[in-house]
Structure 1
Amino acid sequence: MSQVLHTPPPTTAPMTAEADDDLAALAARHGLSVSGARPTLREYIRRLWARRHFIAAFATAKLTAQYSQAKLGQLWQVMTPLLNAAVYYFIFGVLLGTKHGVPDYIPFLVTGVFIWTFTQSSIMAGTRAISGNLGLVRALHFPRAALPISFCLQQLQQLLFSMAALVVILLCFGVPVAVSWVLAVPALVLQFTFNAGVSMIMARMGAKTPDIAQLMPFVLRTWMYVSGVMWSIDQLASKNDLPRAVTVLLEANPAAIYIDLMRFALIDSFRAGQLPPHVWAVATGWALLAGVGGFIYFWKAEETYGRG
């Protein structure tokens, strides 16, 4: 009787830590890296700067296509904030009487509406920057921060286009051209930096939870009402016995600060005494906090965008 020898099937030994180290060393020796891995912050900035022409072209293309189906075309860039200003003037200026005691109320209001619209539109567009462009994110390899930045640049271009109408309104209501108008440039630079930072924060949050885009209109509308778009924070604080903490919060509101800086730059009746203390330092602080902090916060999740 023959004996049948049963040999056990060969087994594959689990990979050890030493084997993992060998593979990592082999990959490093041949310049291989993990696909989709987040680059260092310095390398990320370098790649983003290398695509600056794409960012500018993408923003311009989005702006051109925004009203391409409308018969009035690009005129809606000016008409939309002007129509909003007309509605706010009737409701707040006439019915609620917020125009009383505010010199040059119509230039005051229109400037506030234009500058607020810049912040509002930038944040709304940034919230959908990743979740609304998943096809582009998944198809092409580029720094994802280019999307929220390009949307903010698009809104800046739209604001600059609308500023022509704002200048006409200022002149029609007797506001003279002044040297102080050059202060609008640093004010817009600071506001753009702030808007871009907040947009990147919202872009990361919106990429993970798209429903945030449905909530943002309510948040932004509430923010607008406390930002002095239709009324004067300085006048409210001086005529009402508000707690000091409330006054400080209203004055430190970044949206209100950038609006008041533009009013100070463009409207001669808006005096320096109506600005919060250390307003330029606070405006710069908000821009750096939101711009740098938002950029780093967005970069931290770079490898997760477009997945899932």
Structure 2
Amino acid sequence: MSDTTHGGVAVSAPSPDDGLTAAELAAKYGLSVSGARPGLVEYVRQLWGRRHFILAFSQAKLTAQYSQARLGQLWQVATPLLNAFVYYMIFGLILKAGRGMTTGTYIPFLVTGVFVFTFTQNSAMAGVRAISGNLGLVRALHFPRASLPVSFALQQLQQLLFSMVVLFVVAVGFGNYPSLSWLLIVPILALQFCFNTGLALILARLGAKTPDLAQLMPFILRTWMYASGVMFSIHTMLVGRPAWVVHALQVNPAAVYMDLMRFALIEDYVAENLPPHVWAVALSWAVVVLAGGFVYFWRAEERYGRG
């Protein structure tokens, strides 16, 4: 742009950019929106580049979780064990929910269900607060926001692995000794972790938009727990009910991963207690929820922490 004089008055020469829209100007000079969402492949690459941060953040959160409690990290084990004890008193002794099972089978059955469901429950609760509970970090630093829900799901996996020692002791204490079926624990936990991570990603986006969802989640999760057979065998308790009801409850993801873990650990929990094609169902839940949750979260990447 240059100035000329006309009758003693300075007149600006027309600019070649006059009349261009903001989008056209950005395209012309190679400008991009600050914080714009990268492509999906690039986003995955960025997320992989933050893997050390994700691991360190999850470990720090795990260490700090019970730092103010006198028993410290022991609460990671004590909390699900106390829940299992309460459920045993109410459902095992009073309501006889373990019908068809001996006490030696029902107690490992119940403890396994509580530990495995707690893994999914805590991942969901951590996911729904992943963005809304870390707005300072989200607004101050530039990083793939998926790092947060993935990190929280990894934190819950580490907590479960710590608790598994007690689960093994309970299983052995009631006559379920290590066997080849215990090797199934590795793929079961891998599939459940994938499912939990996808669930955390979905809830993180929903929670970022609707913070009140965190107040509603405990009621949703409690209903899910009661419908998933944590305290009773769906296969046994629903005998005589419509087949579609039994099948729907058995193939819900929480029930699938619990039943697979029970099948791996408990000798008396045989294949007849599992729904048909259980491994295909477990794999499908893991892949669909992880992939769908990741894409769903990524599509709102540029909106997290704003507004």
TM-score when scaled to structure 1?
A: 0.92
- d(CA) in 1 for partners of 2:265 and 2:193? 18
Cα RMSD of the aligned pairs, angstroms, is 1.9
Please state how far the C-alpha of 1:201 moved relative to its aligned partner. Answer: 0.5
AA matched with 1:159: L
2:79: which partner in 1?
80
- d(CA) in 2 for partners of 1:192 and 1:129? 17
Q: Which deviations, in whole Å up to 9, do the C-alpha atoms of 1:32-70 show, x marking residues without a partner?
A: 421000000000000000110110000000000000110
Please state how far the C-alpha of 1:18 moved relative to its aligned partner. Answer: 6.7
**Equivalent residues in 2 for 1:206-221, closer than 5 Å:** 206-221=207-222
1:273: which partner in 2?
272
- d(CA) in 2 for partners of 1:107 and 1:178? 16
1:61: which partner in 2?
60
Q: Indicate conservation of the 8 Å contact 2:26/2:32, yes or no.
A: no
The answer on 1:26 being equivalent to 2:29 is yes
Q: Which deviations, in whole Å up to 9, do the C-alpha atoms of 1:189-226 show, x marking residues without a partner?
A: 11000011011100000000100000000000000000
Please state how far the C-alpha of 1:172 moved relative to its aligned partner. Answer: 1.0
AA matched with 2:278: V
Please state how far the C-alpha of 1:20 moved relative to its aligned partner. Answer: 4.8
Q: Indicate conservation of the 8 Å contact 1:123/1:199, yes or no.
A: yes
Q: Indicate conservation of the 8 Å contact 2:37/2:302, yes or no.
A: yes
- d(CA) in 1 for partners of 2:299 and 2:23? 26
Please state how far the C-alpha of 1:95 moved relative to its aligned partner. Answer: 0.6
2:112: which partner in 1?
111
- d(CA) in 1 for partners of 2:22 and 2:201? 40
> CA 1:78–1:39 in structure 2 vs 1: closer, same or farther (change >3 Å)?
same
Please state how far the C-alpha of 1:248 moved relative to its aligned partner. Answer: 1.6
AA matched with 2:124: I
Q: Indicate conservation of the 8 Å contact 1:198/1:291, yes or no.
A: yes
> CA 1:101–1:20 in structure 2 vs 1: closer, same or farther (change >3 Å)?
closer
Q: Indicate conservation of the 8 Å contact 1:127/1:205, yes or no.
A: yes
Q: Indicate conservation of the 8 Å contact 1:92/1:230, yes or no.
A: yes
Q: Which deviations, in whole Å up to 9, do the C-alpha atoms of 1:255-291 show, x marking residues without a partner?
A: 0000000001111111011110000000000111110
**Equivalent residues in 2 for 1:123-202, closer than 5 Å:** 123-202=124-203
Q: Indicate conservation of the 8 Å contact 1:102/1:232, yes or no.
A: no
Corresponding pairs, count:
296
- d(CA) in 1 for partners of 2:165 and 2:207? 33
- 5+ long unaligned stretches in structure 2: 1-6
> CA 1:74–1:18 in structure 2 vs 1: closer, same or farther (change >3 Å)?
closer
2:257: which partner in 1?
258
- d(CA) in 1 for partners of 2:215 and 2:21? 50
TM-score when scaled to structure 2?
A: 0.92
The answer on 1:16 being equivalent to 2:19 is yes
Please state how far the C-alpha of 1:16 moved relative to its aligned partner. Answer: 2.6
Q: Indicate conservation of the 8 Å contact 2:256/2:282, yes or no.
A: yes
Please state how far the C-alpha of 1:229 moved relative to its aligned partner. Answer: 0.3
Q: Which deviations, in whole Å up to 9, do the C-alpha atoms of 1:169-204 show, x marking residues without a partner?
A: 111111111110010110101100001101110000
Q: Percent identity?
A: 64
1:285: which partner in 2?
284
